[in-house]
Each structure stands twice: as structure tokens, then as C-alpha cells.
Amino acid sequence: MSYQQLTLDERYQIQALRKQRVSPAAIARALGRNRSTITRELARNSQRCETHAFYAAHMAQQTAGERRKHKGKLQRRIRNDLQQLVEQKLRLAWSPEQISGRLWAEQGLRLSHETIYQHVIRDSRESHGMLRYCLRFGGYKQHRLRKSKVGARTQERKHHIDDRPAAANERREVGHWERDCVIGLAGGAALLTMVDRKSRLSRIRRVDKLNSDEVADATVDALRDHRTKSVTNDNGQEFGRDDALQRRLGVQIYFCDPSSPWQRGSIENTNGLIRQYVPKRTEIDALHPQLPHALEDSLNHRPRKTLGYRTPHEVFFNARTKLMSGPMMRLGLEFSDPA
């Protein structure tokens, strides 16, 4: 039968019996334990003061738990020949998972990849070693090695989408915009896209570089002549100048949760429509400079089923336009005059 740690209930029984001056042997018989288990428990987990020692169950439980936790950390350390082998493979740009998998496949040795990651973290924290730079991204989950105070302050400053007005969430009024970027080739120009949540009116601007300054300037230019009550976007670095942009626009900017595109479905749908004309990996720099305005005109005057087949332009400006009048278009279905 395998050995089992003493439970908290058993420790309370030991505490009660010791107060009655019951011997360790008698306590062991009462609990169905080996005498050495009780003797060792009293020796290791009793609390000592200047005049005497006493046994308190809750303090003994806490002491035993801390000792077990510390022992587990020591057992998970990689030492000796195995340490040399692991560090050698890390320097050959092997990932911890590759090392772990190969040790099991070749030697039948179980070594968790998490244990290897912890070894790398200790090497960085305790020895200021360079093992972390052998990993693909310069460190496993770098926030575990150091917290970014700037990032924390930035996150605290941001307005979360949960705080967005109900009028925006329910699409009751125009002026609540969603914002994103359509990216072409890496490092090249991009299209800043914006859409009004209620009317689906689109505003599109080309930015030569995908950085926060150019995106902020393009946002101001796109919304200069339009009602603006809020802006919602994701957490991309190109939207990092939110504090300055809020002052320029005089409205709040709200941020979605990471990896939650459904929280800004209007802009995702609009970007999908734009991708018909600007497929992925398109060199946007080489496109005609009037393309953003042409895309705007096409999208804003296209009837939408969700708007009762009105156009975004009609809904946003509360206007009426005639799109189906004019000369009859011949599309190959021609009818002869019965007369």
C-alpha cells in the first residue's frame, strides 16, 4: 500500500490527543498509522516558542504544504548530464517541445517541456543567462520574465467595449464608427477602413506606413466632415495613439477584447467586401491613388438587405436617391414589340 500524506482531519485528531498527553504510539493506533509517521509529524511540524513546543493542526498543515511545494520545485530542476544535454539542444535552436519529445522517443525519458521552459526562466532570472535568446521569440511568454509597466498603464487607460453607449451597441443612431486596416504586403501601404454601425457608411483612406501617427491623421481626415460620437477598434499597434486621437476628435475610443472579431462585425464585413477588389498580399502602393474613393462610392451607394435595401448613403444622410431610373439597360434579354 502506498504512503498517503496526513489529512487535515487527522492532524486535528493529533492536536486533540496531544492536549490529553496521549503518546505517539497510542495516537498511531487510534489513527491506523505507523508510529514513525506520528513521531515524524510531531518533530517536523510542531511549533516552538521559548519555553515549550506545541502542535497546532492548521499550522502543521500549512508548514507541510509549503515544504511539499518547495520539494516539488527542487525535484523539477534539471541537473548534471541532463542539464548539459538540454542546454546543448537549446543552443541548436531546438524548442523545449522538440527536446522533450525526442528524449521520450529515443531514451524513454519523460521530461516535460514546461520543466525546460522553467529552467530557461531561472537561467534568466537567477544567473542572467542567455538561454532565453535561444528560443524562437527570445523567451517563453516574455511577460512571465518581466511585466511591462507601460503596457499595464496603457491597458488601464483604454476604454473597453463593454463601456460603449447603448445607442452604439443597438445601432440606434449614426456617428458610432468601427475602425480597422486592410493590409497588403508586409511593410507596405495599407487601407484604413471605417464604417458607421447604423448606416454602414464606409470611409476609406490609404496610409503609406502602418503606424499610429499616420493612422491617427487618416482617421481625423476621414471623419472631419461626418458626425462622430464614438470609435471602436481592436488592440493593434496602429491604434496606439488613442489618447491623443480622442482629444482631436472629442469622442471616446473603445477597444474590443483580443481575438474577438465578432465584437466589431460591421468592419469585418466591410473588409470582406473590400477584399473582392484588394485580395490578400496585394501591393497597395501600386494601386491607383483614387481607388479608396472609388471603393467608398461603390459601397456607400450599394443597397443593403439589412437596411431594407436602402443604401448606406441614404441612411446616414437621411436622403432619397434614384438608382434604378434612367435609360433601359439591355443585358441580352430583349423583347420584340408585339405590335
pLDDT of residue 217: 94
Rounded CA-CA distance 160/32 in Å is 58
Rounded CA-CA distance 123/134 in Å is 12
Classify domain 159-317 at the CATH topology level. Answer: Nucleotidyltransferase; domain 5 (3.30.420)
What is residue 202's three-state secondary structure?
Answer: strand
Global model pTM greater than 0.85:
no
Structural domain boundaries in the chain: 8-75, 80-144, 159-317
Torsional sign, CA 33, 36, 42, 44: negative
Those residues whose C-beta lies under 8 Å from the C-beta of residue 297, and which sit 6 or more positions away, are none
- Closest by CA to 193, choosing from 253, 267, 281, 280, is 267
Identify the bridge partners of residue 231 per DSSP, sorted by sequence position. 177, 253
Identify the bridge partners of residue 202 per DSSP, sorted by sequence position. 195
Question: Do the beta carbons of residue 111 and residue 70 sit within 8 Å?
Answer: no
Over its length of 339 residues, how does the chain's per-residue pLDDT go in tens digits? Answer: 456 788 888 999 999 998 898 999 999 999 999 999 999 899 888 888 777 788 988 888 888 888 777 665 555 678 888 899 999 999 888 888 889 888 898 888 888 888 898 888 888 888 888 888 888 766 554 444 455 454 454 566 688 999 999 999 999 999 999 999 999 888 889 999 999 999 999 999 999 998 999 999 999 999 999 999 999 999 888 998 788 899 999 999 999 988 888 999 999 999 999 998 899 889 999 999 999 999 999 899 888 889 998 999 999 999 988 877 555 444 444 444 444
Those residues whose C-beta lies under 8 Å from the C-beta of residue 128, and which sit 6 or more positions away, are none
What is residue 185's three-state secondary structure?
Answer: coil
- Closest by CA to 323, choosing from 287, 298, 295, 290, is 298
pLDDT of residue 312: 93
